Structure 1
């Protein structure tokens, strides 16, 4: 356990504690700091506080940073589609049906299990269950995502997610023929109070913004491109359902009666662009639609 004690200067009065500590520990992300606060590893004047606590002059902050946990998730020899790799990052094209990281009841067969077999170095910021995972896509959503191989890369990528500068484009097939060529959905999202497995539009939720554009219309369906301004859980799925155009095959938010026998929603993370964490150059990756997705579109054209 690494212990640090800080005394707040008068000029720092009024600053949120999580923001202040991010500036102090520049190698730590804001989510990491907030995690320490939630786990009661940070106190002010010997009292526990929340992440939004505003500092006062002469406050004594005690920070206890636990030793990194040793990874104990099993490495598994699972094929993954690696689009790019260097000493800092791995960019992969995740297959539909693959879970990104282990969770209670599902500790094997995930992307993390495959990555641990593929390479030994993944960032430790998200602990033993989610090493290297900067952002996620749902099990039944396919497409491109970036994984960090060290903590510095992880923090820099996380900052791009936070300030919405990371470019993320998805293709989705929705029920119905969209009338508008494009639009923006700006509705806050939070956990559904009636069903904890679902996300819902809630007044006290976090801001979520999805921009969409029609790619092609079919008889009763529309292929759209969605550009994420924010990246909330199930964002595209909930947003499109909220305007009456749920994703085809969506088991949580879609129509009960489905024309096609699918394993999940027709959603593909097609494009990802970001500033490389050490080269400081913009790089972008585009993936093709998976075969099952193209087969459905071909049937709709016939």
Structure 2
């Protein structure tokens, strides 16, 4: 059991933020996970991650053991963009789920990665080894995965401090009049539908920058740059401004093109290498379906 007593300069600091400063080698996301799983107590009581510390509070925590991995590796082809002893960058195909969940016990990116390299970081537990950030099942494109805990912690910290470069391209409904813009709107679970995210007062800060690439009649091809990385952020934000993604079954209009999912591709990813501190940046072309969609719009709209 580890212990820390809150001093005057730490009063009113969020519990998760304070523990990042105290423990140092753990990411904020990991510490939040410990708090949510009751591995952290304040004055012997379970509290929330946003608990504001008081003078003299006794914070106690235990570091949970990394669970042994029971997911079976599967020989699934991968499009590997970059790989070394610490990280692997993949171009995830459309239709592939990133990690196992209740409805996806096989065929995920994690299953494929375990077959390919055999060892991934254990910070996210047995179901999400190595997974630093996610992209949706029907979103294609770049994803970086950590091979060890040190790399994982570094990459998560870069995401927290907004130093990771992430650009997407999408096709949305409607003609966006502005050449570029910024959507700054908090995101949380939709109180009316827990299966969806939405712009909700009091939600987590979410910022998306967009730029128009090409306009068609009733449609727009845009590039989106993420400043934050909330669940379904681009899909939610574009719907919020009245321009939902083409093909989006969850956030799009009822009448949208049947293209097998939202027209969204993670085209660019840049980060500082956890070990060498070198800036690495990668860019991949959108898949064939995306180019076919654009050509169809050019010819018919």
Mapping of 1:105-144 within 5 angstroms?
A: 105-144=103-142
Q: CA deviation at 1:254?
A: 1.1
Mapping of 1:62-141 within 5 angstroms?
A: 62-141=60-139
Q: Deviations over 1:53-85 (max 9, x none)?
A: 344444333211221100111110001100000
The correspondence for 1:170, drawn from 168, 171, 178, is 168
What is the alpha-carbon distance in structure 1 between the residues aligned to residue 71 and residue 167 of structure 2?
31
What is the alpha-carbon distance in structure 1 between the residues aligned to residue 183 and residue 57 of structure 2?
42
Which stretch shows the higher mean deviation, 95-104 or 54-63? 54-63
Correspondence for 2:192: 194
Q: CA deviation at 1:105?
A: 2.1
Correspondence for 1:284: 281
Correspondence for 2:259: 262
Task: List runs of 5+ in structure 2 lacking aligned partners.
Answer: none
What is the alpha-carbon distance in structure 2 between the residues aligned to residue 191 and residue 150 of structure 1?
31
Distance 1:222 1:55, change over 3 A: closer
Q: CA deviation at 1:219?
A: 2.6
- SS of the counterpart of 2:136? coil
What is the alpha-carbon distance in structure 1 between the residues aligned to residue 9 and residue 218 of structure 2?
61
The correspondence for 1:52, drawn from 50, 53, 57, is 50
Q: CA deviation at 1:44?
A: 2.5
- SS of the counterpart of 2:181? strand
What is the alpha-carbon distance in structure 1 between the residues aligned to residue 55 and residue 184 of structure 2?
39
RMSD: 1.5
- SS of the counterpart of 1:62? strand
Scaled by the length of structure 1, the TM-score of the pair is: 0.94
Distance 1:192 1:170, change over 3 A: same
What is the alpha-carbon distance in structure 2 between the residues aligned to residue 30 and residue 62 of structure 1?
16
Correspondence for 2:293: 296
What is the alpha-carbon distance in structure 2 between the residues aligned to residue 261 and residue 16 of structure 1?
45
Correspondence for 1:274: 271
Distance 1:298 1:32, change over 3 A: same
Q: CA deviation at 1:11?
A: 4.6
Q: CA deviation at 1:277?
A: 0.8
Q: Deviations over 1:205-264 (max 9, x none)?
A: 111111111111123211100011111111111111112211110101112123x43110
Task: Tell me, yes or no, if structure 1 residue 158 matches structure 2 residue 156.
Answer: yes
Q: CA deviation at 1:179?
A: 1.1
Correspondence for 2:237: 239
Correspondence for 1:5: 3
Q: CA deviation at 1:301?
A: 2.0
